[in-house]
Amino acid sequence: MDSLFDPRQVRRAFSRAARGYDAAAALQAEVRSRLLESLEYLDDRVPSVVLDVGSGTGHAAAAMKKRWPKAQVLALDLALPMLRESKKQAGWWKPFNRVCADARALPLAEGSVDVIFSNLCLQWVEDLPAVFAGFRRVLKPGGLLLCTSFGPETLVELRDAFGQVDAEPHVSPFASIARFGDALVAAGFRDPVLDRDVFTLTYPDVPALMHELRAIGATNALSSRRRSLTGRARFAAATAAYEPLRGEDGRLPSSWEVIYAQAWSPAPGAPIREGGHEVAAVPLSAIRIRRRGE
């Protein structure tokens, strides 16, 4: 069976976006800042090894190196140009190691990492239970996982507009918060806590939104995507379908749902399931739901 995403296209898109990424990635920077605040859950514990998965241009890795100067901080990304850009954040006074690798196959020893941090990377991963199993493998017992991903309400307006034009996929099918929690449970993580925000960004027109998506590497990477360019007629029809959403401020809205997750690696030898029951459980009724217009 074909994979949902084309990893070569993901790598190409983020490689092309690397140089101008920071100038366009305001939302990603805001979410990163909020996720970094969650490091307070470690209390006074000082990790020895910290892994930033999907590190991009290295801001989070640099922040964690500043927070824990004696820790070994690893910035891991699929796109080599992103890692080259991240060198700008790794000055001689706060160096961190850079590793070009795939989140789905971490080149690290079992039980070697204290903290895994991953900001807005996992939406490009099809098999969440498998990638979380890989995270659990490299985490030490009691290690902390902090991650974010885009949820299914992301770009819903753009998806609906193109959906009125043709049946081809134009926006990725992002995983829901329930699926995210289930994947953590399946991998055996303990005490998962999930949360979500919905941000609303606005744009003068659809081309401006598309330009920003290209600038942050968020192009269509589905294996089933149309391989030819979207024709002018289709694009014009999608733009017309989007137009009724224009607000009183004269701008077009775009929703971005962000899922936040925190979980702990289990004790040594803990099975993924015990006695037919899940080691960890996520009561969806207890998940905090927040909506913010940004």
Predicted local distance difference test score (pLDDT) of residue 44: 84
Please name the amino acid found at residue 94: K
Architecture of domain 7-152+172-199+257-280: 3-Layer(aba) Sandwich (3.40)
Give CB contacts under 8 A, 24+ apart, made by 237-245.
237/164, 237/165, 238/158, 238/161, 238/162, 238/164, 238/165, 238/206, 239/161, 239/205, 239/206, 241/160, 241/161, 241/162, 241/164, 241/165, 242/157, 242/158, 242/161, 242/206, 245/157
pLDDT tens column, 148-179: 999 999 999 999 998 888 766 567 788 999 99
Domain locations along the chain: 7-152+172-199+257-280
Region 15-19: what's the mean pLDDT? 91
State pLDDT tens for residues 257-273.
999 999 999 987 776 54
Q: For the whole model, what pTM was predicted?
A: 0.87
How many whole angstroms separate alpha carbon 51 and alpha carbon 72?
9
Residue 159 tokens read as 């998806």
Confidence of residue 290 (pLDDT cuts 50, 70, 90): very low
CA dist., res. 51 & res. 250, Å (int): 43
Name the band, by pLDDT with cuts 50, 70 and 90, for residue 218. confident
